[in-house]
């Protein structure tokens, strides 16, 4: 009877085996986030301030603001993570140096996205 039962442990190990993502996943994600950020910026630039009087006109700019902001933050974090992952982790000792480097990277990437404003 026990031989008829499937090997659950082996099936679970096989089902939960790690899967490597495609090599170009980070580049595709970055380009998608960049295009979302650019489209949101264009939408906000085209929006006229005179349309603010009517709350029904707020949906598109609000959506563009949320989508563009979220994509921008995700893009900054992605680039910062890639830069931190590429450097050697043994070179930095302590959480404070790591946090300082992360803040510096985030500031640099945010300036790139905002056009050094």
- 19-46 tens-digit pLDDT: 888 889 888 999 999 999 999 988 888 8
102: confidence class by pLDDT, cuts 50, 70, 90? confident
Cβ-count burial of 9 within 10 angstroms (0-12 exposed, 13-18 middle, 19+ buried)? exposed
Contacts of 77 (CB under 8 A, 6+ apart): 106
Is the pLDDT score of 48 beyond 50?
Answer: yes
CA-based Rg of the chain, rounded to a whole angstrom? 22
Q: Dihedral of the CA atoms 98, 103, 107, 113 (nearest 10)?
A: 80
- Contact, 80 vs 102, CB < 8 A? yes
Interior CA angle at 90 toward 89 and 93, to 5°? 95
Residue 75: strand, helix, or coil: helix
Report the Cα–Cα distance between both ends of the chain, in Å, rounded: 73
- pTM, two decimals, is 0.59
Q: What is the mean pLDDT of the chain?
A: 79
């Amino acid at each position: 009877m026990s031989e008829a039962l499937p090997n659950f442990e082996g099936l679970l190990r096989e089902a939960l085996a790690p899967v490597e993502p495609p090599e170009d996943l980070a580049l595709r994600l970055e380009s998608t986030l960049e295009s979302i950020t650019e489209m949101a910026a264009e939408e906000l630039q085209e929006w006229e301030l005179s349309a603010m009087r009517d709350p029904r006109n707020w949906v598109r700019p609000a959506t563009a603001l949320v989508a563009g902001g979220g994509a921008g933050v995700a893009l900054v974090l992605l680039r910062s993570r890639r830069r931190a992952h590429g450097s050697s982790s043994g070179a930095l000792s302590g959480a404070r140096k790591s946090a300082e480097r992360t803040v510096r990277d985030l500031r640099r990437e945010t300036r790139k996205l905002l056009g050094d404003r």
